[in-house]
Amino acid sequence: AVAMDVEETFRRLQSHKSVIGVLVVSQDGVPIRSSFPDRDQTQRYCSMAQQLAQGARATLAACDSPLIGDSGAGSIGSELVFLRLRTKRGELLVAPDRDFLLAVLQEPASSGDIGSGLAA
């Protein structure tokens, strides 16, 4: 059932006109599933998604660790839920899970994009 849900989500994301590619990546950056036709492109984006998620988690953990004499009241929580990196050329959306990352590369934001409702 889980594999069917993953496949359905993969197909649904891939069907958006702004989506360039969809990846399922292991926590180690190894591609599990990719819509990119080129192996080098797949590996480059898998590595990028894994490194971004790892760096964001490290940053959140550093922000979450209390300073000397701090009660921890200013803590922001250290669980990465979603990461969106936007550039002029496109966006990389990363949704981490315990065992893998789901990453979507899409054209620059417009009102009909996957992450458009998430932008501030």
Parent domain of 7: 1-61+80-106
Is residue 113 domain-resident? no
Distance from chain centroid for Cα 37:
20
CATH code assigned at 12: 3.30.450.30
According to DSSP, the residues that pair with 25 across neighbouring strands are: 31, 101
Is residue 116 domain-resident? no
- Domain count for the chain, please give it: 1
Is residue 14 domain-resident? yes
* C-alpha closest to that of 56 among 22, 75, 79, 73: 79
> Per residue in 19-69, pLDDT tens?
999 999 988 889 999 999 999 999 999 999 999 999 998 888 887 766 555
> Per residue in 72-119, pLDDT tens?
555 556 688 999 999 999 999 999 988 889 999 999 866 555 655 444
Predicted confidence at residue 6, as pLDDT, reads 78
pTM of the model: 0.77
Tokens of 112: 């009909």
Q: Do the beta carbons of residue 100 and residue 27 sit within 8 Å?
A: yes
Tokens 């990028």, residue located: 48
Predicted confidence at residue 82, as pLDDT, reads 93
